[in-house]
Amino acid sequence: MRDDISKRLARMAPSGTAIRADTTALTIGGRATPWSDIAIETAEIVTVSVPEGEDHYRADAVVLATPGGSVVPDQAVISNGAQIVNKVLRTLGVEFR
C-alpha cells in the first residue's frame, strides 16, 4: 500500500470531494451519473490470506467509465470506501464471493 499510495491518490477526486452511491446514481462532487451510464473498466482485486482456511478476495478499487471520464472509487483512500466500492459492484451486477 505504501508503495502505490501516490498513484492511488493521483487518480482520485480532490480531497474533500463528497462521494455518494444511492439507488439512482453515483454522485461525485455534486455531479450525479445514473447507473445506466456507468460501466466497469477495471476491478482491482486483492487476495486476503487467511491462516486457517481458504484465501478471500475483495475489490480494492473499481475504475469506472462515465460520460465525464474515468472515476475510481478506492476503498483505501475515500471515506466509507469499502461500502461505496461494494455498492458500486452490487448495483452494476457484480457478485463477489
Write the pLDDT tens digit of every residue in 53-71. Answer: 888 888 999 999 999 888 9
Which cell numbers in the block locate residue 79?
471515506
Burial string for 64-75 (b: 16+ CB within 10 Å, else e) reads bebeeeebbbbb
Give which of 77, 86, 85 is closest to 4, Cα–Cα: 77
| Helix (H) / strand (E) containing 59 | strand 56-66
- Does the structure show a pLDDT above 60 at 1? no
Instruction: Report if pTM > 0.85.
Output: no
Confidence of residue 21 (pLDDT cuts 50, 70, 90): very high
pLDDT for the residue numbered 3? 64
Percentage of the residues of the chain whose pLDDT score is greater than 70: 88
Cβ-based neighbours of 9, under 8 Å, separated by 6 or more: 77
DSSP-based three-state secondary structure for 7: helix
